[in-house]
Amino acid sequence: MIIGSGALTASGTRRLSSVQWNHGGCHGLDVQAREDVPDFDDSMIRMALLRASLACQSQDCLNRAINRQLWVIGYLAVVQSDPVDHSVVIEVSKSR
């Protein structure tokens, strides 16, 4: 499923601050957290996404890099991209 960057937040998710990432025509990563992610972990999640975005310069490796960083703190992500408008949406949820 492809989600445009202007899409509304799905039911049961909340929008986190986006992460800047200027590669492959994308200008940022839109981040959503599922309802099982407590809001007190938002800053930890953001730091993990920043580390992954710095390590990765293509959308092909983005999913792996993000999930590697999030797994350490107990989360996983689904990375969805739209090749038309180059948007990337990351949905974070509990992994365990």
Query: Has residue 2 been placed in a domain?
Result: no
pLDDT exceeds 90 at position 25:
no
Of 3-12, 23-32, 38-47, 72-81, minimum mean pLDDT range: 3-12
Residue 27 in contact with residue 85, Cβ under 8 Å? Answer: no
Which parts of the chain are beta strand (E)? 13-19, 29-34, 75-82, 87-94
Query: What pLDDT shows up at residue 82?
Result: 84
Query: Has residue 63 been placed in a domain?
Result: yes
pLDDT exceeds 80 at position 51:
yes
Query: Has residue 57 been placed in a domain?
Result: yes
Query: Has residue 20 been placed in a domain?
Result: yes
**pTM of the predicted structure, to 2 decimals:** 0.81
Query: Has residue 6 been placed in a domain?
Result: no
Residue 81 in contact with residue 87, Cβ under 8 Å? Answer: yes
Q: What would the two tokens of residue 21 be?
A: 């990432």
Residue 36 in contact with residue 13, Cβ under 8 Å? Answer: no
Domain count, the chain: 1
CATH of the domain at 68: 3.10.20
Query: Has residue 28 been placed in a domain?
Result: yes
Domain ranges, residue 36: 13-94
Query: What pLDDT shows up at residue 36?
Result: 95
